[in-house]
Chain A
């Protein structure tokens, strides 16, 4: 273990305490730190967003994962948006500034880069994010695992694109690596049905696979991210490791141990790697099947994936329809200790697309009413659908900033909400770029 690894290992409890301390103080734990003195450059959309974000806003932050939406709205071809870091990040920055998001960062199809670099076949649509060709999984048979080797990262497929995106993100205050978490990566190169079968019938192979992905693939990729991008923390995306794709018991057995293994391995070279993005999310589609006990188990798993930090993700599920009381009940074990949890509360993607505005606004207001007073809340739009009407997003952002103004109003019903009147993205770009257009 290196000196930095030893230092990080020793300082981790401190880091967790610090997070808890910031949470207790009510400091915004989600928002990026923007350098002072940024001036507007019409040719650099990153500055459009940074100038906006550098203003002191005392409100609950709102942010989004919006790759396909940004690409569609800005009319950028997929093959450029998902291959050129400058195009990708400048587009995201412009759209984030347009909507007034409190964080902006590129990422793209973060689930695919490692698999693609290892040799997994991909499919590229003209107007859509590249996707894994599940007809041709890299591991067709368990013995194929023995043929896999660590990629030459800097020359492998779109790795340089992914690394350059991370570098550009750091200019906007988000200096964090990104990777595909072990479970989702395993799904990508084996396919979900086969992996489920392996987990029942060939457990030794699955352990070998996950160990290989952690020890050989992800650890080396994160070393490269550290060297190339200077990161000291990274978040892994794990949308396959959610309920009901996996039961909580299966998550405990297959997801948590390898997230912990990766965490330990990366601490050795000075990176805090949390394979926690989306992992343990509760996503039951049928609201009538909502189950508090399963939700609690999922939230316990999330805490483990976040290395014990009081972080809760209310992700891709139907949170506009699920009851929020059980979440508040779960969180009492924090409030009783005077700890404010950090909650990422998602507005359901289909609600964002379909609307109506009133329903979206009420969803935001309900999150703030139930969870905003006792905890650090951030409103998240996880994966805004490509054709979502922009006024739906403007409404959701305005609702967050109106009802979420700190300190929160005692009675949110007394707070007046006004729907903002906004220009189109194209008009906005024309204005901000002084007529030169989006520099991508």
Chain B
């Protein structure tokens, strides 16, 4: 691995977005294939942060900063990556229900899913049910992940699931839910295909859903 790739990986593990951006730009100037930057630096970086989290070495601030550094590096690479064909294991659309602004968990999930090889499309927060349905029709994802972080907004998930059925897109779509107030029982009640306990669990479940 080149010195630059090593520094990108290290910057992501350490959650330093400035260095992650600086070294990613440098890697492109050095002519390193952006796909290799992803494979050898950014993804291993976020995976390592996930391992450290799992092992109780990293806590939320560390993971969040790693996710931010990963996002910053990927932003630099995105224009280059769009010009080359990259393999993904599935398309994942993610958003937070209407009336809910909490996206801390979502940011980590996005970083971890991207690291795991998913193409992740972030719809943002406070997304009305109708918009979620429209975007599913338009983007045709393999999985839609919907988050909610309040006990009142989580009830909107019932409407989302109903609307997905009524609009005829549910049959070809796997639905995952997550967020602080949710549980496996709630996921079963609303008829979701899976519940992500946290970001690491969400990645495992997403892989399972697409048969990976």
A→B interface (CB under 8 Å): 68-69, 71-72, 78, 123-129, 131-135, 192-193, 196-197, 199-201, 243-247, 250, 285-286, 289, 291, 349-350, 353-354, 383-387
Interface membership of chain B positions 4-40, coded 1 if the CB is closer than 8 angstroms to chain A and 0 otherwise: 0000000000010110000000000000000000000
Q: Mark B183-212, 1 if CB is under 8 A from A, else 0.
A: 101100000000001100000000000000
The 3 closest A-B pairs by CB, nearest first: A125-B99, A128-B152, A385-B151
What are 27 A-B residue pairs whose CB atoms fall within 8 Å in the complex? Answer: A71-B152, A123-B99, A124-B99, A125-B98, A125-B100, A125-B152, A125-B153, A128-B150, A128-B152, A129-B152, A132-B101, A135-B101, A192-B64, A192-B104, A193-B64, A197-B65, A200-B15, A244-B59, A250-B61, A286-B197, A286-B198, A353-B151, A353-B181, A354-B183, A385-B151, A386-B154, A386-B155
Which one, A78, A134, A349, contacts B181 given CB within 8 A? A349
Chain A: CB-nearest residue to B198: A285
Proximity string of chain B (139-152) to chain A, C-beta cutoff 8 Å, 1 when within and 0 when not: 00000000000111
Q: Is B60 an interface residue (CB 8 A)?
A: yes
Complex: how many Å from CA A321 to CA B64?
26
Number of B residues, CB within 8 Å of A: 33
Other A-B pairs, 18, CB within 8 Å; known A68-B151, A250-B61, A353-B181: A124-B99, A126-B99, A127-B99, A128-B153, A135-B124, A196-B65, A197-B65, A201-B18, A245-B60, A246-B59, A291-B56, A349-B151, A349-B181, A354-B185, A384-B151, A385-B154, A386-B154, A387-B151
Q: Is B107 an interface residue (CB 8 A)?
A: yes
- Residues of A close to B68: CB separation below 8 A: 193, 197
Q: How far is the CA of A15 from the CA of B153 in the complex (A)?
A: 42
Q: Identify which of residues 88-141 in chain B touch chain A, using a CB-to-CB cut-off of 8 Å.
A: 98-104, 107, 124-126
Bound Cα distance from A383 to B151, whole angstroms: 9
User: Which residues on B sit within 8 Å (CB–CB) of A350?
Assistant: 181, 183
CA distance A68 to B101 in the complex (A): 17
Q: Smallest Cβ distance from A137 to chain B, in angstroms?
A: 11
Q: How far is the CB of B34 from chain A (nearest CB, A)?
A: 25
Most chain A beta-carbon neighbours within 10 Å: one of B98, B99, B100, B198: B99
